[in-house]
A and B are shown apart, each in its own frame.
Chain A
């Protein structure tokens, strides 16, 4: 364990930048906290409870380019076929897809334990066979500095969700605020290497994770039948804005689409865009068939994906209890009423 001052902790962030990491840190702007690229001189919000975006937005960026290729032809919506000449001359006889996997190193600075557990969930999804090459390349070279919470806000429920504990490999340095000072505990080799540059004297005792104080206590129990039977009261105010899935640290549903270069339309990119189960097109198949029709069904689908489906497919719950879907819902829909046993507002 290392005891340091706040200035030293900020120095650690810029030192990570000097070590070649792209440092992602919480910064405050316009009254909300947001993870963004840290550069020396910008402030870090070390007192935040809730951030509007999550590490997922950096590990699985929206609009990520999967590959590019040269298209010889396209079909317009009117069914007319246009053949584009390519810049290189004659049309290629194969699809010459070109791609590159991301190469930089990412350091997540001062994320909360729930965010670290969200990364653990995304690892289960994205690294299961066959692994997603883009996510894997980012994740292999990432470093996680976890800042513990002392107390949650009205929407937090990481203690019922069990996500205040950290698994091995999901925390390189654990940080806890202790009055004016911060306690640091390197938990991996990369973390030790970074912490050693602070030149602070190490103390003998070990820093273990501590559960934050919660304002509500309940237990989570779910099954598909329970979610199907849940009351639909209050759900009609849902505006289908998809804020719950946009701010969720574990939502990973995506859409893959072609994008043309405006000047040279034979230059096509395939992009992975974020998709939300709250949208109509999520479950649409050719011909217009929908599998998830009403907003009540979409709300239930989101919860089913988080709890029973994730437990079945990945052996781990997809909800880390960050409370973002409740805090940022403009209609005030609270999923704890559906999944929380003994939950009282």
Chain B
């Protein structure tokens, strides 16, 4: 049976890499064009990327939902599939399954002030949301984007940050900055004072588990309620449809089906991981 005939949730659909962009030393953005199909995704959802002959791994979509013929995936070299993805060239064939998961709660965010905190490669999962917010800027209140990384070389989307800065307040902080770095220094938790101030604020976090936990802790301490804080979690989902149980977290949630976006009143801080 051919993949197009029937809806088998395990079988990927074809896509072609059309552009590869070097974001930083360890990070590349693959732009894939979907072959004879469209992905109807919303910010925060993820896809399973199959590299032929290597394997499959889940990645959050990093492109604007207004263009459903293309998907951007920002990938840092860490494991088997991610390293192999850095060898992809324009014209290479990949498989895409998805989109899967629960997106960011756009309806709850309308008209509210937003605080978006991304650290490290976590910013990739937030880029789709940032582009969406920039397109629909007037429907939201004040937007603060706080992006933390370690070294200046680790920063991704550097050329886009200027455009984003016209639409929202972009703050970039480096924890291990070189002396010539002119921006903010320190961890993201050091710069929350100026941006956490409002009752009706919604906070969106993505980063390594430990960082998300410490940011959540700081935000709760500063008076945000648990249902105002949303985190995007990472697990190695194998199937994406809740059949392999690899992405179970405390509380009995499947990250692939019920997440990857959770509000903190649904899960405990321990569920984020260490």
Contact = CB atoms under 8 A, between A and B. Distances in A.
12 contacts: A69-B52, A72-B53, A73-B53, A75-B84, A92-B93, A94-B14, A95-B3, A128-B242, A254-B243, A282-B246, A289-B208, A289-B209
Contacts of A287: 78-79
A260 B54 CA distance: 10
Given A71-B52, A96-B3, A270 B244 contact: no
A275 B242 contact: no
A97 interface: yes
A272 B81 CA distance: 17
Nearest to B210: A289
A200 interface: no
B254 interface: yes
A95 B245 contact: no
A67 B245 contact: no
Interface of B: 1-3, 7-14, 16, 35, 50-57, 78-84, 87, 92-95, 208-209, 234-236, 238-239, 241-246, 248, 250-254, 273-274
A95 B252 contact: no
Contacts of B236: 283-286
Contacts of A130: 7, 9, 241
Interface string A71-100: 111110001010010000001111111111
Given A95-B12, A275-B244, A313 B78 contact: no
Which of A100, A291, A304, A311 gathers the greatest number of chain B CB atoms within 10 Å? A291
B54 A258 contact: yes
A131 B111 CA distance: 38
Contact of A256 (B1, B80, B244): B244
Given A95-B50, A305-B245, 16 more contacts: A66-B10, A75-B53, A75-B84, A94-B93, A97-B2, A130-B241, A133-B9, A255-B244, A265-B53, A272-B244, A275-B244, A285-B234, A286-B57, A286-B79, A313-B242, A313-B252
A141 to B, nearest CB: 18
A71 B55 CA distance: 11
Interface in A121-180: 125-126, 128, 130, 132-133
Contacts of A286: 57, 78-82, 236
Contacts of A72: 52-53, 92-93
A306 to B, nearest CB: 11
Contacts of A95: 3, 12-14, 50, 52, 93-95
Nearest to A93: B93
B93 A258 contact: no
A81 to B, nearest CB: 5
A257 interface: yes
A319 interface: no
Nearest to A256: B238
B235 A291 contact: yes
Interface string A310-331: 1111000000000000000000
A266 B273 CA distance: 38
The 10 closest A-B pairs by CB, nearest first: A74-B53, A312-B252, A286-B79, A309-B252, A94-B14, A71-B53, A286-B78, A71-B52, A75-B84, A287-B78
Nearest to B94: A95
A6 interface: no
B14 A99 contact: no
Contact of B51 (A75, A282, A284, A312): A75
B14 to A, nearest CB: 4
A108 to B, nearest CB: 21
Which of A73, A95, A132 gathers the greatest number of chain B CB atoms within 10 Å? A95
B9 A75 contact: no
Nearest to B273: A291
Contact of A97 (B12, B54, B242): B12
A304 B243 contact: no
A255 to B, nearest CB: 6
Contacts of A266: 53
Contacts of A125: 242-243, 245
A253 interface: yes
A308 B208 CA distance: 27
